[in-house]
Chain A
Amino acid sequence: MVVLCVDGVDCYYGSVKVLEDVRFSVKERDFVGILGPNGSGKTTLLRSVTRTLKPHRGVILLNDVDVYTLKSSEVAREMAVVPQDTVITFNFTALDIVLMGRNPHLGRFQMEGERDIAVARKSMELTNTWHLAERPINELSGGERQRVIISRALAQEPKILLLDEPTVHLDINNQLEIMDLLEELCIKRGLIVLAVFHDFNLAVRYCNSAILLKEGKIFSAGDVEAVLTSENIKSVFQVDAIVKKHPFTNSLYVIPVSTPKAPLSRNLSVHIICGAGTGTTLMKIMADEGYSVTAGVLNVLDTDYETAQLLKIPVVGEAPFSQITEEAHRANLEMMSKAGAVVLTSVPFGFGNMRNLEAVKEALEKGIPTYVMEEVPIQRRDFTKGKAGKLLMELKRRRAIFVMSQNELLSLLNISEEKLKMAEEVPTKIPGHLKPEEKPRQGDRADDVKSSDHRG
């Protein structure tokens, strides 16, 4: 049963159109998140529903009646609003403030009675603020104040609760507490929640529907999983984000990825052999640094595979739970041959990905400079009964360069690239953090670099 219906609403601030043809409807047990970039009209939408800004076109129906034809008190019995800013200049007690929520139910000549106090108390207990009842409101912290305001809204015994960024001032445990409370009220008592969010993760975790606004228009609306996708986020916010379902909470989570600045183009291409998340950071850094990166062989369910997809890194994939096939192996080798350097991360080795090690060996034989990262000693990640370890020793023998940290790797790559560039006389800029470190380097490594430069 639709409780609130927004139909074809246009809103203006003066002559500027802020909302255009907004339409959606909300029914019982809906927990709706309104999202969008700054200036997209989220707060305006809320204000048009709460009767602060009358739309120029369209209608907003509450229980099939135009909100703007109703009296304030009638609306307030159905709808409660929790604003973003709560600056109260007079020192009423918290209980006084919450009792003001009972106003829509009281006649002009009526005083607050037992029932009103009971409702207020219940509301305050739900937000865990009852112990603050007799404290003056302006002595409370921002979070406590916000919870009192939420209690006030609940005291109105509304059917719909509208919130404007309700958790902005709250610390993490309060945030979750409030959101859990709202969720419970929504599910158990059918309270409709319509809230503006800036925090994707909160929205995505608690809302069952979402409205995504872009430039005053609804970009997407519906189930939250359908609305909050990477593509939509990219379209609306121009931000890359990973949207995944978290195995623990069984809800989505969104991780925005900062778009790299115009990458310095480097001539060096690097092929990374990784897996199980060991290569994600490296891939990102190298992409940021402007190296052209390739990767393989990676299991398609692997995190690194996902990262590669995200960063648009060419990658050789393989079906999960299977050994690296010949095909994949060959593709891997091909990619490697095109690369100027190969990097092997501290990936755990099992029989499934042993062939990656063999691929590295072949790379070495071809003379491609190879770097092996030993952040985690091989003993801890060898699940091949020692075979991987042996192969690794062989790699060492064959002059693979072993590095202990990413920074070391990057500076070495930098130097080799420098040399390449000097040879081709193309000027490069060395980013500050990759200036060669002052710690003493093993002589042969540097020599190795030199010698590995001379390849066919």
Chain B
Amino acid sequence: MVDERDLTGKNGVETAYFRRFSRWKLLLIILMAALMLTIFLSLNVGFAQIPFHTVLWILVKRVPFLGSLVGSPNVSYVEETIIMQIRMPRVLAGALVGAALAAAGVVYQGIFKNPMADSYILGVSAGAAVGASLAIVLGIGFTFFGLSTVPIAAFASSIIAVFVVYNISRVGSRVPVTTLLLSGIAVSIFLSAIVAVLQVVAGGKLHVIVFWLMGGFSYVEWRDVWAVLPLVCFGTVATYFFARDLNILSLGEETAQHLGVDVEKVKKLLLILGSLVTAAAVSISGLIGFVGLIIPHITRILIGPDHRILLPTSTIIGSTFLVICDAVARVIVSPVELPVGVITALSGGPFFIYLLRKKKESYTV
């Protein structure tokens, strides 16, 4: 057998391999820029018609050096309030939640090697729903140490739910993946039943629960953003360091173990990170579906299965996607706001189907 050299040249394959890294970096920079642009454009959109240059000025004047260079046109307090106190927090929340859900989705799909896995699969969504519904029904005053009770309750109960699911599935020091999945489903069903009961006793507050469940950014404030920002940023960045492990895990747990991956430890860490990040997201936005499930798949079709690029790309794309969807949800029947989940599903679904059909042959899930 003759050893054929790669057609691209003596060292073609090696250089191609290293060039791949720099291509990735470029892609990420472009995507980040797109995200920033989307955020800016989203700030321009809303019930109140605020001119483009006003928005620009309001933002720019906050930048330390630039601020003093720009003149001061006639900008009303109301416009500033709308941009900085109403639109900015919800746009940023949209970006954070989109990033969190997409990153968690990638991680879960990698651990479970299951294309149906998304960030909610371990009971995070059902747990959060119980916490939020309980807080709404009991009507515990809406502020508690500076943070609202509903997000805190939602976050706490979702973490508890995941903890329960994890411990049910544990066999000695190992947590088999199928057991985790099944326990997650079982616990979610149980908790959803509790939410249904809570809805019955809610009486006149029923619509508050229903709207929370539908998910949205209508009433997001700065304090919600500050509460969630560190957790989401840390979580999404931390998962990146497990990207190679996720690549290897996709070959199977036994093989991964043979290749030097401490499977149980990595699984546990990733599950914790994924759950924390998802719980944080859900606590401020309610249940927004589709992002955690489909964005990773869309990115995988476009970019490939290598988690070292898949993770950051999915995160940024998820972010951008949700910011756009929220802007649409806000504006399409203003002043009434549609639930964001409706927009994500309506837009993402057909696009995903289109991609699937285009790459039918080469996409293996």
A427 to chain B, nearest CB (A): 60
A92 at the interface (CB under 8 A from B): yes
B13 at the interface (CB under 8 A from A): yes
Q: Once bound together, how far apart are the Cα atoms of A133 and B268, in whole Å? A: 33
Known: A100-B251, A131-B6. A73 touches B305 (CB 8 A): no
* Among listed A103-111, A324-332, A385-393, interface-contacting one: A103-111
Interface size on A, residues (CB 8 A): 45
Q: Which residues of A contact B258 (CB under 8 A)?
A: 50, 76, 79-81, 83
A302 at the interface (CB under 8 A from B): no
Q: Is the interface of B mostly helix, strand, loop or mixed?
A: loop
Does B263 contact A72, Cβ atoms closer than 8 Å?
Answer: yes
Does B14 contact A121, Cβ atoms closer than 8 Å?
Answer: yes
Q: Which residues of B contact A125 (CB under 8 A)?
A: 3
B178 at the interface (CB under 8 A from A): no
Task: Provide the B240-275 mask, 1 if CB < 8 A to any CB of A, else 0.
Answer: 011010011011001101111111000000000000
How many residue pairs, one in A and one in B, have C-beta atoms under 8 Å apart? Answer: 98
Q: Which residues of A contact B17 (CB under 8 A)?
A: 95, 112, 117
Interface size on B, residues (CB 8 A): 34
Task: Provide the A26-57 mask, 1 if CB < 8 A to any CB of B, else 0.
Answer: 00000000000000000000000011100000
Does B362 contact A91, Cβ atoms closer than 8 Å?
Answer: yes
Residue on B with the closest CB to A71?
Answer: B262
B138 at the interface (CB under 8 A from A): no
Does B255 contact A83, Cβ atoms closer than 8 Å?
Answer: yes
Residue B305 contacts which of A77, A81, A91, A130 (CB distance < 8 angstroms)? A91
Does A73 contact B262, Cβ atoms closer than 8 Å?
Answer: yes
Residue A104 contacts which of B3, B242, B259, B365 (CB distance < 8 angstroms)? B259
Does A128 contact B250, Cβ atoms closer than 8 Å?
Answer: no
Does B3 contact A130, Cβ atoms closer than 8 Å?
Answer: yes
Residue on B with the closest CB to A177?
Answer: B1
Residue on A with the closest CB to B308?
Answer: A111
Known: A73-B262, A83-B254, A156-B259. A131 touches B14 (CB 8 A): no
Q: Which residues of A contact B244 (CB under 8 A)?
A: 100, 103, 106
Q: Once bound together, how far apart are the Cα atoms of A100 and B261, in whole Å? A: 10
Known: A88-B251, A90-B250. A96 touches B257 (CB 8 A): no
B135 to chain A, nearest CB (A): 39
Q: Once bound together, how far apart are the Cα atoms of A313 and B247, in whole Å? A: 62
A367 at the interface (CB under 8 A from B): no
Interface pairs (23), CB distance under 8 Å: A52-B257, A72-B260, A75-B260, A80-B258, A88-B250, A89-B250, A91-B362, A92-B250, A95-B13, A95-B17, A96-B306, A106-B244, A108-B241, A111-B21, A117-B17, A121-B14, A128-B3, A131-B4, A131-B5, A133-B6, A133-B13, A134-B6, A156-B259
Q: Which 10 A-B pairs have the closest CB atoms?
A: A76-B260, A104-B260, A90-B305, A73-B260, A81-B258, A131-B4, A72-B262, A133-B13, A72-B260, A90-B250
| A interface, CB within 8 angstroms of B | 50-52, 71-77, 79-81, 83, 88-92, 95-97, 100-101, 103-104, 106, 108-109, 111-112, 114, 117, 121, 125, 128, 130-131, 133-134, 136, 138, 152, 156, 177
Task: Using A77-B260, A100-B248, A156-B259 as known contacts, list a sample of 10 further A-B pairs with CB atoms less than 8 Å apart, ordered by residue number in A.
Answer: A71-B262, A72-B262, A76-B259, A83-B258, A90-B305, A100-B247, A101-B259, A103-B248, A130-B13, A177-B1
